[in-house]
Amino acid sequence: MMSITRTPTELRKLVDGLARHPELWRQDVVFDASERQCSLIARTDTVEVWAVAWMPGQDTGFHDHDSSAAAIVVAEGAIVDERMALGAPTIAARHETGAVFTVDAGEIHRVRHTGDEPAISIHAYSPPLDRMGTYAVGAGGRLVRQPVGGDQTLTAD
């Protein structure tokens, strides 16, 4: 059976539209200073959408979304997206309220909250996020990927 996935353009439109209608998701957002909180908004055969509540200093750590592409919109506040680059510093971009960005399937990145006020982002994944990879530096400086389930809450620890 063939799986249909949404394009990055479709994912961008989806998260942008949801950000403009907080009455659809705001009641599910919970802030917790000890850990980022992720609330599932919707899941179909082709896409899943999460609202993520960020407190200052919270960080996903470097990870990938396995075979899922993603679009992320900052609904409130600001977050920083960093892309891993070989032999170069990470490529960082600060995104403020209303900004939408995409992450290709398999791309290694991290998202962190560097501001002083809470933030909310909305993430759409297609196909739905079943697996991710987290990254650590192993013996001899080797980059080691650790597979984790798509429902895991990632941290930089």
What is the domain-level CATH number for residue 50? 2.60.120.10
Buried b (16+ CB within 10 A) or exposed e, 122-142: bbbbbbbbeebbbbeeeeeee
In a domain, 155, yes or no: no
Contacts of residue 153, Cβ cutoff 8 Å, sequence gap at least 6: 35, 36, 37, 38
> Is 113 assigned to a binding site?
no
Region 78-107: what's the mean pLDDT?
94
Buried b (16+ CB within 10 A) or exposed e, 7-40: ebeebbebbbebbeeeebbeeebeeeeeebbbbe
pLDDT digits (tens, 9 = 90+) for 8-40: 999 999 999 999 999 999 999 999 999 999 999
In this prediction, residues 109-127 reach a mean pLDDT of 96
Residue 21 among known ligand-binding residues? no
User: Of 1-5, 92-96, 145-149, where does the model show the most confidence?
Assistant: 92-96
Question: What six digits make up the tokens of 5?
Answer: 């996935």
Global pTM? 0.90
111 domain-assigned: yes
Assess whether pLDDT exceeds 60 at residue 65.
yes
Q: What is the pLDDT of residue 3?
A: 57
Q: Is 95 annotated as a binding residue?
A: no
In a domain? residue 152: no
Q: For residue 75, give its domain range.
A: 8-147
Question: Within a domain: residue 157?
Answer: no
Q: 69-76 and 119-126 as β-strands: parallel, antiparallel, unpaired?
A: antiparallel
* Tally of structural domains, the chain: 1
Residue 156 lies in a domain: no
Question: pLDDT averaged over the chain?
Answer: 92
Query: Which tokens is 7 given?
Result: 């394009």
- Residue listed under structure tokens 């899941």: 43
**Please, are residues 36 and 155 in contact by the beta-carbon 8 Å criterion?**
yes
132 inside domain: yes
Q: Quick one: pLDDT at residue 138?
A: 85
Flag whether 56 is in a domain.
Answer: yes
Per-residue pLDDT averaged across 73-85, rounded?
A: 96
Whole-number pLDDT of residue 1: 44
Q: CA separation (Å) from 157 to 58, 108, 112, 121, 153?
A: 10, 16, 13, 21, 11
The residue with greater pLDDT, 121 or 155, is 121
